[in-house]
Structure 1
């Protein structure tokens, strides 16, 4: 399908702006630019979606999180550990605040967003260790927020999807905590970048001109995984794990013009081959990052709703009359 026209216009505006390769800039400068671009995409007059509670917390004095609790009359609702995008280098609680508010109210669920440590200052395994700490803490403390630990979801987009997939693998190996669903939006699941760079792979067809580029992904991987030997371990490259059986049900969303599409689609295929229940949302006309492009593109908005609907169904969540889905 052709690239969504609103997305195309967004990409053309970005391409017209002067750009310096990310590798030539200090990470702090790149982070500031990423945050500014995400917040600008929300548009003038943006007002955060109101919830029953939004508060910051620190787990064990070391892992900052933000807890979102929706307005609902349900006495026990699902809980979500959310990990944000940004190549393990960019992103924070502010860049994905709008996404987390939407997830909390639309599922509805208690959402805990994890402000994991970023590379290159904190290379692998800092990010996945922080996220795993938050997942285990949420499983233990779900009831404190009116949450149901038996309906625990790990959700992330891009590099955050990598962390969510890694947490599902860790939980399988550790014998818990039990995870009800892993929901991965355009995930990074092959830190070697080899699968998508094969002939016909999405790095070869979409590695330039669609926002996220192959050169940017190489920079992200170099920052987070400077040791090439670490790029093949399960926590870094879930796609390379020999046995994917026994993992929780998965939702994998991929975008047609995303350089990560090939690896995400193949991961969904391999999970299904291993007997895992999989919902693969292969979304036409979109690019990487559609979860936070909903105010730019109506197609991205519909894609996010499809992703949320799939998570809600997997969790057995129910909207009650007091829950307003849309802003």
Structure 2
């Protein structure tokens, strides 16, 4: 592997312990990913958090969409909610893998999280996973009273492929007059199948995700009819970076990692949102790679990144009164 002089030393130590998930063989990658995630899942504590499982009716003939609803234990009344989508290159992972983050959101902000179990590619290519996320959003909004959710304070977000699904869900909600969204957060989101930015072209050997990984992810997600970057039929809901009009979207928080092929498309999306009149906060983390926050959670840069995401969510949803954010 290429040595990257700017790679954070703490993260460099973690890289040596992270096996490469080759998604050219999806079944093998899933098996390895499941094995790697088991210790982290076993270590999760749900103290102080109530977990219930609900199902959103799928769009059209699609199956129901499972949602894991996390709330502060014993808290009644309407709470702001984050509709969350896990990462995994559109082909790996499950909702519970993302609960290392969801649990912190619930505990630190005192709000709810609706963690979506969307279907995976290549078995279910686009629009299936996006439709699942949109169905979950619609269900949470329509059933807000039953679920104890404040329908005026819904955030949508996710990491990696989940960030791309979140951005697509938000675009679809805008265009179809769907549930109002107060805030979106996008962590290293997969936004553009064309992979034409300098970082996408140059980073062929970066940790965890490289150009080859990106190409395979999009091929799996967009299915057998996808003809490549010049395909004119790719939906903007699949690849939000292709969208021409980004106006009217909610305030947005975007995370980019310096050593990530997706870095430049993340920064470009933030810039284009700003140019469209959307309020944006962009954080580009030096020395970090795609997924480093999840894979090296104890590194100082990861702790800072996660703290900043949660802080942004709190501000975006006004989850606490201003005095609760005042330093002691």
Sort the TM-score into its range (normalised by shorter chain): 0.7 to 0.9
Q: Name the residue aligned to 1:83.
A: 85
Instruction: Check conservation: 1:225, 1:231, Cα contact below 8 A.
Output: no
Pick the aligned partner of 1:55 from 52, 55, 61: 52
* SS of 2:200 mapped into structure 1: helix
Shift of 1:319: 7.3
Shift of 1:217: 1.2
Task: Give the whole-Å Cα distance in 1 for the aligned partners of 2:103 and 2:320.
Answer: 17
- Compared CA separation, residues 317 and 51, structure 1 to 2 (3 A): same
CA contact (8 A) 1:99 1:291 kept: no
Aligned length: 310
Which residue number corresponds to residue 318 of structure 2? 316
Offset of 1:32 from its aligned partner? 2.4
User: How has the CA–CA distance of structure 1 residues 207 and 48 changed in structure 2, closer, same or farther, with 3 Å as cutoff?
Assistant: farther
Asked whether the 8 Å contact 2:21–2:33 carries over to 1, the reply is no
In the aligned structure 2, how far is the partner of 1:296 from the partner of 1:170? 36
Structure 1 residue runs without a partner (length 5+): 323-327
How far residue 71 of structure 1 moved from its aligned partner, in angstroms, is 3.6
Find 1:12's aligned residue among 10, 16, 20: 16
Matches within 5 A, 1:259-274: 259-274=261-276
The equivalent residue for 1:69 is: 71
* Cα displacement string for residues 34-91 of structure 1 (whole angstroms, at most 9, x for unaligned residues): 2332344x49x83424233112222226111111011475743211111110111011
* Residues 1:68 and 1:161: Cα distance change in structure 2 (over 3 Å): same
Partner of 1:78, secondary structure, is strand
Output the CA distance in 2 between the equivalents of 1:36 and 1:253.
Answer: 28
TM-score, normalised via structure 2 length: 0.87
Counterpart residue number, 1:187: 189
Structure-2 residue corresponding to 1:325: none
Q: 1:217 aligns with which of 199, 214, 218?
A: 214
TM-score by length of 1: 0.87
User: Structure 2 regions of 5+ residues with no counterpart?
Assistant: 58-62
Does residue 1:202 correspond to 2:199, yes or no? yes
The answer to whether the aligner puts 1:30 opposite 2:18 as a matched pair is no
- Deviation at residue 233 of structure 1 after TM alignment: 1.6
**In structure 1, distance between residues paired with 2:54 and 2:29:** 26
Contact 2:183/2:250 (8 A) holds in 1: yes
1:240 Cα deviation after fit? 1.4
Once residues 207 and 311 of structure 1 are traced to their aligned partners in structure 2, the CA distance between those partners, rounded to angstroms, is 33
SS for the counterpart of 1:133 is: helix
Q: Partner of 2:255 in structure 1?
A: 253
Deviation (angstroms), 1:20: 7.8
Change (3 A) 1:140 1:70: same
CA separation in 2, counterparts of 1:262 and 1:128?
A: 23
Whole-Å Cα distance in 2 between the matches of residues 76 and 321 of structure 1?
20
The verdict on how the C-alpha distance between 1:321 and 1:77 changes in structure 2, with shifts beyond 3 A counting, is: farther
1:249 and 1:68, CA in 2 relative to 1: closer, same or farther beyond 3 A? same
Question: Cα offset for 1:214?
Answer: 1.0
Deviation at 1:231, TM superposition (A): 6.5
Asked whether the equivalents of residues 70 and 104 of structure 1 are also in contact (C-alpha less than 8 Å), the reply is yes
Q: CA separation in 1, counterparts of 2:264 and 2:76?
A: 39
Instruction: Choose the corresponding residue for 2:140, options 138, 148, 159.
Output: 138
Q: What do you get for the CA RMSD once the two structures are aligned?
A: 2.4
Which stretch shows the higher mean deviation, 295-304 or 71-80? 71-80
